[in-house]
Chains A and B, each alone.
Chain A
Amino acid sequence: MKVLTPTVLTYVKIVLLVAIVPAIVGFVIVLAERRLMGFMQVRLGPNRVGPQGVLQGLADLLKLVTKEDITPARAERAVHFLAPVLTVVPALTALGLIPFGPAVRVGRITTPLWVTDVNVGLLFLIGITSIGVYGIILGGWASNNKYALLGGLRSAAQLVSYEVPMGLALVSVLLMSRSLSLVEIVQRQQRIHLWFVFPGLLAFFLYLVAGVAETNRNPFDLPEAESELVSGFNTEYSGVKFAFFFLGEYTAMIIISCVATAVFFGGWLRPFPSVAKFQFLDVIPPGIWFVGKTAVFLFCYIWARSTFPRYRFDQLMALGWRWMIPLALANIVIVAAAILSTPGRTNGLFVLAWIYGGLFVVCFALARLRRSLARRDRLASVPQGAEESA
């Protein structure tokens, strides 16, 4: 056992992350996405390869690996090669910072479920995931294809704009957590007996939307925009390089979801971490709580993908700059005020949580009401015949 010094252990964990996560991406998430979308769209989804299609990921991977790797004529060869690497590597690096759970014991070794806990974790995470953006921009530019170029241009503006509200949304969390370390953020949520999602409800929504935009997913999948730009930046990519883009996108999704879990939903903590009555929830180990919460976010990604139409480019920018950034800034002020109103204690945050929660319920109810009224007016405008007015 002397072999497993902390340093070696770290390397082991890194290898596990780099080896396991792509596998999870390939097998579980893609399959889950396709089957779920199949379910939502009254069709089956892949179910031929292996029982219930569980080996579909393997088949896809084999296909991509054996496919001819084409570099278009007069493309920037070096950049064209570099771009997919640039999307994957930062995404995988960022995984090292995610605290999947507290210390676990395996045999005689005790080790926390994260590779490293950097004291500027969140900042580093935002920084390193931003590098992934270059991959998309450069990939679009280097392909020598007009559609790819348009996709690259779109992503340049979109991804850069949405980093801002995302960062600002996380700033309000920092005010509450007083630390950039992801582990410390989780532990603080345990100490103050409050998940940050409640006082940070607005921040959470902003983060969620910006996160979807950052990962190029529907309804913000403009750089790809199948029906407009014919896959946009990755039009000219095939084989392994395409697989890299694919992997990068899904890893980015995982990271966004993991960060949302850690920062807003108490990471590996069970619900009501300080209420003794809910002790029985500890049956489920902390790591599983983390994965479960993350899975919920990933489900939301898939859900949104099969529900919403795509934004238009200028509308997307307007949403980011005119709504999300001002809201995020206002939110920072509000959260700061809530914290300052009760120095040394957290009562202000609880009050804020109730206010935000109430506002959310009211807005939701109003939206439902407006929708049903609009539908009634619409149906009333043209005679429908008595038999089907119901």
Chain B
Amino acid sequence: MELNFGPQHPSTHGVLRLVLKVDGEKILEAKPDVGYLHRGTEKLFETETYPMGIPHTDRMDYVAAATNNHAYCLTIEKLLGLEIPRRAQLIRVILDELQRLSSHLVWLGTSGIDLGAVTPFWYAFREREQILDFFEEYCGARLTLNCMRIGGLPFDLTPGWVERLAEFVDDLPARIDDYEQLLTDNRIWKNRTVGIGVISAQECVEWGLTGPVLRGSGVEWDLRRAQPYECYEELDFAIPTRTNGDTYDRYVVRVQEMRQSVRILKQCLALLEPGEIRGKVPRVIKPIAEEVYASIESPKGELGFYCVSNGTNRPYRMHCRPPSFINLQVLPRLAKGHLISDLVALIGTIDIVLGEVDR
């Protein structure tokens, strides 16, 4: 039987369409059909000046706008050879890690719902709301943040922001314990995730998978450590890995990453000192003709931009390496032979955002 799974389906996390060939509930073949959310973002970059590109990145991985902004700005900064003031670096790391937390919380909640556990969703979203409040206070937006600029940041932190964040961050580990209480050792949760969608480290590398999917298979690769940007070098954090490469391990890796993000946030907040928030940025950004690639560890994996400049104030070509899109490739391979119920778990476990897949 052929079954259309999506684009309107509660568990495809957006507008992903999967064409399934099923025998009963067993999946013989799964073919993803992407592009329902294609907006031609990469082409749009070419038509606008460099700073005007930043808001477009908000709309790619729309649950993690800050990291998108960051990757874009980092690329242009590399192109221009700009130095970022230390305070700006720290605030960027804070925003990144908050974004990682909020993105992982969205993932945790939705993949819980996919497997029928509704309550973790509300807990996760309660904390996510608070994170969004912090973003809102910082830059006025909750999702499409547009919170970074080439060479630094648009605004300094508002008074009291740091103290409130410190309070929130102190509270978080207990909240994460709450989610784990509901899921981690739950017999049904384990039944549904252990051994589902197993992928070996070798295969992960061959498919070009990054992020928690890669680390769940036992490869200790995190761009924050492997190619440190901003001030990640000075920060003390662990890279959680697991060895089985199944849905459960990816779940554990993400939850532990949340705990590590809390650690990073605490350190950053302690290191914050008054200072400049923007480097010496030319009034008109007109880089020389060159090609650069810069990437960061977004919540979903390696998010990079490849920029070709031709000496004008607009990029000649801007390409994005979206972790969601590249991780999504592996879905047919993972889904084959599993049941429809598992497919739902698998879409959840590779943590895709269709805005980023389709761009």
CB pair A306–B339 under 8 Å, yes or no, is: no
What does the 1/0 interface line of B73-115 toward A look like (CB < 8 Å)?
0000000000000000000000000000000000000001111
CB pair A312–B339 under 8 Å, yes or no, is: yes
CB pair A309–B344 under 8 Å, yes or no, is: no
CB pair A226–B117 under 8 Å, yes or no, is: no
User: CB-CB < 8 A to A154: which residues of B?
Assistant: 25
Interface of B is mostly: helix
What does the 1/0 interface line of B254-277 toward A look like (CB < 8 Å)?
001001101100100000000000
Task: Say if the beta carbon of B185 comes within 8 Å of chain A.
Answer: yes
CB pair A225–B116 under 8 Å, yes or no, is: yes
CB pair B339–A313 under 8 Å, yes or no, is: yes
What does the 1/0 interface line of A360-390 toward B look like (CB < 8 Å)?
0000000000010011001000111101100
Interface centre among B116, B123, B236, B252 (most CB of A within 10 A): B116
Minimum C-beta distance from A111 to chain B (A) = 43
Interface hits, A276-316 → B, CB 8 Å: 305-315
What does the 1/0 interface line of A36-67 toward B look like (CB < 8 Å)?
01001111000000000000000000000000
CB pair B116–A219 under 8 Å, yes or no, is: yes
Closest to B26 in A: A314
Task: Say if the beta carbon of B312 comes within 8 Å of chain A.
Answer: no
Distance, CA A308 to CA B192, complexed state (A): 12
User: CB-CB < 8 A to B186: which residues of A?
Assistant: 308-309
Task: Say if the beta carbon of A333 comes within 8 Å of chain B.
Answer: no
Distance, CA A226 to CA B341, complexed state (A): 11
Minimum C-beta distance from A164 to chain B (A) = 21
Knowing A227-B113, A227-B344, A383-B238, the reply to whether A312 touches B259 (Cβ < 8 A) is no
Distance, CA A225 to CA B113, complexed state (A): 10
Task: Say if the beta carbon of A150 comes within 8 Å of chain B.
Answer: yes
Minimum C-beta distance from B117 to chain A (A) = 4
From A225, A230, A375, B180 is in contact (CB under 8 Å) with A375
CB pair B341–A313 under 8 Å, yes or no, is: yes
Interface of A is mostly: helix
CB pair B10–A309 under 8 Å, yes or no, is: no
Q: How many residues of B contact A (CB 8 A)?
A: 45
From A226, A305, A312, B191 is in contact (CB under 8 Å) with A312
Task: Say if the beta carbon of A153 comes within 8 Å of chain B.
Answer: yes
User: CB-CB < 8 A to A42: which residues of B?
Assistant: 122-123, 126
User: CB-CB < 8 A to B259: which residues of A?
Assistant: 382, 384, 388
Task: Say if the beta carbon of A221 comes within 8 Å of chain B.
Answer: yes
Distance, CA A218 to CA B123, complexed state (A): 19
Distance, CA A10 to CA B236, complexed state (A): 76
Distance, CA A385 to CA B184, complexed state (A): 21
CB pair B184–A311 under 8 Å, yes or no, is: no
Distance, CA A154 to CA B180, complexed state (A): 30
CB pair B238–A221 under 8 Å, yes or no, is: no
Task: Say if the beta carbon of B1 comes within 8 Å of chain A.
Answer: yes
From B1, B116, B185, A371 is in contact (CB under 8 Å) with B185
User: CB-CB < 8 A to A225: which residues of B?
Assistant: 116, 341
Task: Say if the beta carbon of B240 comes within 8 Å of chain A.
Answer: yes
User: CB-CB < 8 A to B11: which residues of A?
Assistant: 227-228
User: CB-CB < 8 A to A153: which residues of B?
Assistant: 24
Distance, CA A218 to CA B117, complexed state (A): 9
User: CB-CB < 8 A to B191: which residues of A?
Assistant: 311-312, 315
User: CB-CB < 8 A to B342: which residues of A?
Assistant: 312
Minimum C-beta distance from A322 to chain B (A) = 13
Closest to A319 in B: B191
Task: Say if the beta carbon of B189 comes within 8 Å of chain A.
Answer: yes
Closest to B121 in A: A41
CB pair B236–A385 under 8 Å, yes or no, is: yes
Task: Say if the beta carbon of B340 comes within 8 Å of chain A.
Answer: yes
Task: Say if the beta carbon of A146 comes within 8 Å of chain B.
Answer: yes
Distance, CA A375 to CA B24, complexed state (A): 38
Minimum C-beta distance from A86 to chain B (A) = 25
Knowing A312-B192, A388-B259, the reply to whether A378 touches B184 (Cβ < 8 A) is yes
Given contact pairs A227-B344, A309-B183, A312-B339, enumerate 12 new A-B contacts (beta carbons under 8 Å): A40-B119, A146-B3, A153-B24, A229-B340, A306-B119, A309-B117, A310-B341, A312-B192, A375-B180, A384-B263, A388-B173, A388-B263
Give 16 CB contacts A-B under 8 Å: A40-B119, A150-B340, A225-B116, A226-B116, A227-B113, A227-B344, A228-B340, A308-B186, A311-B191, A312-B339, A312-B341, A313-B25, A375-B185, A382-B238, A382-B240, A382-B256
Binding site for A on B (CB under 8 A): 1, 3, 9-11, 24-25, 112-119, 121-123, 126, 173, 180, 182-186, 188-189, 191-192, 236, 238, 240, 252, 256, 259-260, 262-263, 266, 339-342, 344
The 7 tightest CB contacts between A and B, nearest first, are A310-B116, A41-B122, A309-B117, A309-B115, A385-B263, A388-B173, A227-B11
